[in-house]
């Protein structure tokens, strides 16, 4: 969410009515999340000036440990230097820390492609935004789940009950520090997650939703506390001893 919002912001800066705007003091402290959107807190160090040049060798974009040689345009300006400076700083300060392992395994190769392409400046802001929106579409639609074995049949649904959340085993990246609360597309994906965790014996799909509209599933290692809830369903692993007793 943070990276996508940042890319949308950089897309606007690259195509602003004032021209391409570069953030000269590009640091994480310069940004804040407001209602799920990343915003710049200080525009004092923003500039629309683009580096003048006579030849390509005048258009070197230097960063610690890495440099890029850009093209000198016919009008004597380094092509896209403001946009590329913003994008590489986004890679340095945000993408490298937030993108790895921040999506289901099937989507991680797409994020790795974005990471590598922006790290080498092979992508401009237009291509980067398009790539992020493609990942978001796959994530929200559940298309990345195709060609997976169906595992929900290995779970017994018990309607009218839920499990007391919290105080059970913990997992990463959980939405709750008290237990294992993860975003899933469906009960089928939740079954796959439960199968991948040795502690998991049951799960419920909660009424909570993430910013993408996906539900949160709570995973449990035991069924010590079942609470009546007409709107809930507990999915119990059929091979578990608790499921057999039930």
Element (H, E) at 242: helix 241-245
In 49-157, where does DSSP find H-type helix? 81-90, 96-98, 108-119, 125-141
**Token pair in block for residue 191:** 């079954």
Please give the span between the terminal C-alpha atoms of the chain, in angstroms, as a whole number. Answer: 41
Q: Is 173 exposed, middle or buried (0-12, 13-18, 19+ CB in 10 A)?
A: exposed
Do the bridges between strand 22-23 and strand 46-47 make them parallel or antiparallel, or are there none, so unpaired? antiparallel
Given 25, 45, 56, 120, which residue is catalytic? 25
Q: Where are the beta strands (DSSP E) in the chain?
A: 22-23, 31-34, 37-40, 46-47, 60-63, 66-69, 155-163, 180-183, 202-209, 215-220, 226-237
Respond yes or no: is residue 44 known to be catalytic.
no
DSSP state of 56: G
157 beta partners: 235
Contact 147, 135 (CB under 8 A): no
DSSP state of 95: I
Residues 229/244, Cβ–Cβ less than 8 Å: no
Per DSSP, the three-state class of 182 is strand
Could you give the residue numbers annotated as active site? Answer: 25
């Amino acid at each position: 969410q943070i990276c996508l919002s940042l890319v949308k912001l950089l897309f606007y800066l690259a195509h602003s009515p004032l021209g391409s705007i570069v953030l000269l003091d590009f640091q994480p402290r310069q940004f804040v999340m407001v209602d799920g959107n990343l915003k710049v807190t200080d525009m004092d160090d923003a500039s629309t000036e683009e580096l003048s040049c006579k030849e390509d060798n005048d258009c070197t974009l230097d960063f610690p440990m890495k440099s890029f040689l850009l093209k000198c345009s016919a009008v004597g300006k380094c092509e896209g230097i403001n946009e590329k400076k913003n994008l590489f700083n986004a890679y340095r300060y945000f993408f490298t820390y937030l993108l790895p392992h921040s999506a289901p395994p099937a989507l991680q190769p797409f994020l790795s492609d974005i990471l590598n392409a922006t790290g080498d400046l092979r992508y401009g802001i237009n291509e980067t935004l398009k790539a992020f929106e493609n990942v978001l579409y796959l994530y929200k639609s559940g298309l990345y789940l195709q060609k997976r074995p169906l595992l929900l049949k290995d779970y017994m649904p018990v309607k009218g009950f839920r499990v007391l959340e919290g105080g059970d085993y913990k997992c990463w990246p959980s939405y709750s520090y008290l237990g294992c609360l993860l975003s899933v597309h469906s009960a089928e994906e939740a079954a796959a997650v439960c199968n991948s965790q040795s502690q998991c014996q049951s799960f419920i799909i909660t009424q909570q939703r993430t910013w993408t509209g996906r539900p949160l599933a709570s995973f449990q290692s035991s069924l010590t506390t079942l609470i009546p809830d007409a709107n809930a369903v507990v999915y119990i692993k059929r091979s578990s001893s608790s499921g057999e007793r039930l």
